[in-house]
Amino acid sequence: MPTAAAVVRALGPIDARSIARDSMLRWLVAAPIAYALAFRWGVPVLRSWLDERYGFDLAPHYPLLASFLVLITPALVGAVVGFLLLDQRDDRTLTALQVTPLTVEGYLAYRIAVPMVVSVPVMMASIAISDLATMGVVATFAAAAQAAPTAPLFALFAAAFASNKVQGFALLKGVGVLSWPPVVAWFVASPWQVAFGLDPLYWPLKVFWMIEAGEPRVWLHFLAGLAYQSLLIALLVRRFKTVMTR
């Protein structure tokens, strides 16, 4: 079986070319930074307007606004990988892999690891650019690392249940409804927030809010979220393997 570095050297350029020639994928790659810039320039204007018009101070809710980037960044990275998976499945690239030294498990490991690795620095950059959270580099890294597994969740969900990119886009758009319960959790008292834990997107936001607020025992939520996300990834990998063998 090829080494991890060999897999990246083999598949990385193929992915880069696929993204470069697809305008939608190019936009998805650039979108997290674009959103961060919009927040950096737009939120202060919105805060001034709300304060002058309604006497409402938006500043205490900055962590809630910043958590949008925690949700959207891995989702967009995962969408890119999901569309690449669908393209390669349609092109029978995945079937061809079965006669190469690269195993299906190695390919899936690459597809799971890459969006996680990519989403961490992109999310850290987005949070820093938005200037909505007062977190150090280590704390921002921890928050981004907890959110990173949601990227392969989105990718595998699209690849496991969609027949083509059009269906994949519709599925990912529909699954966006999962982003609302964690946002609602912001307004719910802490002991009751655990009820939102069935939503895998809750855990990254909870960890982000706890780190930003300097709350203790954040590591419990960090580990619980990783365990739950890992279980869902394993289930989606199993489903994707079933789809591949049809």
DSSP class per residue in 225-237? HHHHHHHHHHHHH
- Give residue 100's pLDDT: 66
- Give residue 183's pLDDT: 83
Q: Which of 35-49, 55-69, 164-178, 202-216 bottoms out in mean pLDDT, i.e. has the lowest?
A: 164-178
| Distance (Å, whole) CA 172 – CA 97 | 26
Write the DSSP symbol of residue 149: T
pLDDT in tens, 226-237: 999 999 999 999
**For residue 1, pLDDT beyond 60:** no
The amino acid present at 162, given as its one-letter code, is: A
| Distance (Å, whole) CA 133 – CA 105 | 38
Write the DSSP symbol of residue 133: -
* Mean per-residue pLDDT over the chain, rounded: 86
pLDDT in tens, 52-103: 999 999 988 888 888 888 889 999 999 999 998 888 777 766 666 666 677 7
| Distance (Å, whole) CA 75 – CA 54 | 34
- Give residue 39's pLDDT: 94
- Give residue 33's pLDDT: 93
Q: What percent of the chain has pLDDT over 70?
A: 93
- Considering only the C-alpha atoms of the chain, give the largest distance between any 2 of them, rounded to a whole number of Å: 66
- Give residue 92's pLDDT: 67
Instruction: For the beta carbon of residue 29, count every other beta carbon within 10 angstroms.
Output: 18
**For residue 193, pLDDT beyond 60:** yes
